[in-house]
A and B are shown apart, each in its own frame.
Chain A
Amino acid sequence: MTSYLGYDPDRLPLLWDAMSAAESELSNIRCTDPDARAGILKVSGVATLLRARWMPFVRSLIHCSTLTGYQPATIGGGDLVNSYLAFLIAGNGWRTSTDPLAPAPMPITVDHARALAVWLNDHGDELDDTELAALQLMLGEILATPAVANAFTTSLSADGLSTLVGELGQRAIDIELHVVGGGFADGEEDVLATVDALFATLGGIIALSRDSHDIHAGAAAGELIEALPAMDPYGAANLIVSLDLDANTLARIATTLISIEHDEQLDEAAYTNGIRAIDTLLGAVIDTPGGASRLLVAMAQEPQALFNASDPTLTNTILLTGTTPDALLSAKDQALVLPALLLAIRHSLDDPIAPYNDRNPEIVSVAAEIAAPYLIELFLKSPAAFAYPSSDQTDIRRFFIRTPEILATLMSSRDLLATRFDHPLTGNLKADEKTLFELAQLTGVLDRLYSDAKIKPAIINQAIWGLGWTVVGTLGRLATPAPYKVAVGPTTAGTKYLLEWLGLGPDDVNELQAAVSANISDRSTLIAALVVDTTFASLVAKGAISQRTIPPPPPDLDADDLAQSYVVALQAWATATGLDTEVVRQVLLASRTLINPNTAAFDSMSDDEQD
């Protein structure tokens, strides 16, 4: 690296004049007093240094005399380190000479930072390895001072950033391809580390300006960030990691970059070897609170692009964390995302050459898990159902029915299914009505899916019975039974009563289950009985009903029509106990809402949507 010195030819003579005057003044100071000798010697030394060292040097520059090592010179346009000097020479008419001294560390000022940014605007793709390292040092210093960082950001153009980001991204890709091909070449490991550091520092500077109180710098940073979608995806992705973007902005920009990368595959070798922007972007999204759900909403029109990640665990994490009811807050977003995702997963498995589950075997169970909390909205024509084409609904149903892994996952995902029931029974009529209604609907959907899949009734029984216990347990703030009989012991007095009435002990849940017929209505009636029982226990606990009150009757398993007989028995029980009308209404509601809508749920899955 060549050192240069530059000077203002108009001001340098003024410096020489000042040096001369200072030297003259010091040289004229005399004092022979021995007590003043120490001080006078210092003065004399300074005068000598000026006279012998610096004045001749300045004079030689003024007269353009050639000194050893100092030759008139021109700075090349591509010289990063001397970019500020080049700027002064071009803009202010300075002159240049070589300077044999090594560059001294010089604090980077606002002017330096501006000049560097302007230089980068034109030369961001001309950096050699040494200049990359020098740039990193300079940017590191710029990052340390907010005012200097703002000066840099306001002078860096979107095109300049794009060029630099593209260059850095390509450097990284080239080196990573070498690594894939066998390992680092000489010095490449250091260059890659420098490139990584440059992305981080550059991102840090832009983020610092965006968050500063300087309106101009904030606006400039905003423009740079908004220009990211038009940049090279790999470089932009690496810059984004350090920008600390909010979830919405990140999702919007990432969506565009992922799409461009997939559609254009600008660097085919990199893409083929799994060096892809999408992996970096998904990592950034996962690290951003709320990022996964925002990305899924933003990509709802093209969710299949998510499957391009080289590391499928990143895709799975996005799908699982971004679709929970807590993450997708609005019903509109849920309706937008869930059907689109499930259809995309289904179609990805249909690829005759490279079905996606070959690369990502977990994707099928992921599909089941993301669908589990939304089965009612996906498959029923209820007011809360997702508004999407019935042909798509049929597609998803067929996908579920024909994919044993999905049904198996749903059967074993009772906790997931129960996540929609996040409120315990309150005794409040309106709140409980919705919960019980949904439980009935969910039971119906599962029953139908399992039946259509020709799963043996005994297995369906087990799954739905398990769900019933889980949900009732959830609603009553009971421990989730696993296995069921473990949790039955400490359950409510009402549930115990139900078991005892049937002649079964707390450990005999399996026996109880075996006693239930394959009849759909019977299963839902028994679940209704559990809910009624829990409601009753809850009312007793709250003091709304005396502890001495006779509990509700259990279903008569020998009855021809279990549901009908249960409702009649409940009404008789209500009359006999003489309970408060409102209490009775609540208990009866628990049964009717469960039993009746269950049938309605099946009706809503019309024949034309079934196989």
Chain B
Amino acid sequence: MFTTGSKMFLGATALSVVATIVFSASEGGAVGLMGTVGLITAVVIFAFLAGINLFTRDGNTPSMQQGVEHTSSAAQPPVGRSMWPLGAAVGIGGLVIGAISKPVVFKVSVVVLLAAIVEWMVQAWSERASADVKYNANVRSRMLNSLEFPILATVGAGAVVYSFSRVMLSANPNAGLWIFVVIGALIVTGGFLFAGPRLTSRRTIAAICTVGAVALMGVGVASAISGQRTIHPHPVIDDASQKPLCLEGGEEEVDEHASQDVSLKSSVVANIYLQEDGDLIALINGMPGIEYHELTVPRSAHLGVIFHNDSGEAQRLTGRFGTFPDKPEAVSCTTAVHPGKSAYFGVSIPKSNAASSTPFEFIVPGVDGATIKIVVP
């Protein structure tokens, strides 16, 4: 009545039902809800798979002949060795170590353990599916390859990408440029060679790719261990202790590459220009040619402006965002920006300027009259 495949899924369904009941009864709150939903999902999936197996009789034409499975196949003794008990042992060991060390070890071990159990179960089941070892291997492949290949591909691609990112974070910026050039050239050359069927066999291609991936991961691990290079951030200065810096001129903290956030450049409140004559003007999208000396900014919205320094000296843009009861004046600024360069300046003003005892404005410290009034309705 029940096919071999359906027995496994029916068992898994029953187990999931019991787990759902126990878990939902013992665990409350958001965790309980999430877990219960997950287990119910497992019940549905296992029941669905069991139904499919029953309906298709395991997709095995001979098994649709009544009694065949009893007379010839599963009664045969299993063959082959399995590495999955070892995998499960590693998972359990990792669980113990993870429980007393780092959560990430614990989580990875849970994944290893679950994977080992599933693989072990399916292998044990498939080896009893029939007397034909080749057929059994095929059954196992049909069951698990659709899961294994995407997962392994994802893990493999992730490992390569992660390794490459470690290399790039470790290498200095100039070396990074050459790494890109060399790897790009290698990929193009390799593609050219592989495209010619007479030049290389599939085996050679696989070997080269494997060696390349292993080498990349090896360098990646070494880079990760050596740590990333020092990356100089380009922050807007909004520390209260930096207030004097924001309100004074000078070239301290000059940053040639201050504007790093490319994605935001096209969607700013305004482009603010410090012109050669010391005038500070704002231009906004959609209103070309109009120079604004007043900007209206919605309150509590995270927005930005881009400061362009067209003067002959390094300058910074400072935002004065008001003084409210029991608080010092809110001031922040860009780093000083080289002539001809620009900087992004994030703005979020939670209060209306009507409530402030000091003006809301953009200024350039040290440049008289370089002011743009900020209106926050």
Q: Decide if A and B are genuine partners.
A: no
